[in-house]
Chain A
Amino acid sequence: MDTTKIRQIITDHFRKTLKTLHRDGFVVGLSGGIDSTLTAHLAVEAMGPKKVLGVIMPERESSPESKALAMDLVRKLGIEHQEVDLTPSLEALGAYEKRDKVVRRYLESYTPGKHRVGIALRQDLTGSSMPPLHYLTIEDEKGVLLLEERIRLRDYTELVAATNFKQRSRAMQVYYWADHYNYAVLGTTNRDELLLGFFVKLGDGAADVEGIEGMYKSELYVLAKAMGVDQRVIDRTPTTDTLPGQKSQKGYFYGLDFNTLDTGLQVLEGLLTVKQGAERTGLEEAQIKQLVDNLKRRNETTTILRAPPTGIGRAPLAQYL
Chain B
Amino acid sequence: MANATVESPEIMDQDNNFESRVSVASQRQLIWWRFTKHKLAVISAILLIILYLTTTFAEFFATAHPLESEAFRGLMPPQPIHFFDEGKLSPHVCAMIGTRDTYTYKKTYEPNCDEKTPVKFFVKGFEYKWLNLIPMDRHLIGVPEGYLAEEHIFILGTDILGRDMWSRIWVASRLSLSIGLVGVILTLFFGITLGGISGFYGGFIDTIIQRIIEIVRAVPTIPLWMALAAAMPFSWSIVQIYFSITLIISLFAWTDLARVVRGRFLSLREEDFVTAAVLSGADEKRIIFRHVMPSLYSHIIAAVSLAIPLMIISETALSFLGLGLQAPAISWGTLLQGTQNVQSVALYKWLMIPAFPVVGSILLFNFLGDGLRDAADPYSD
Question: Do A and B originate from a single complex?
Answer: no
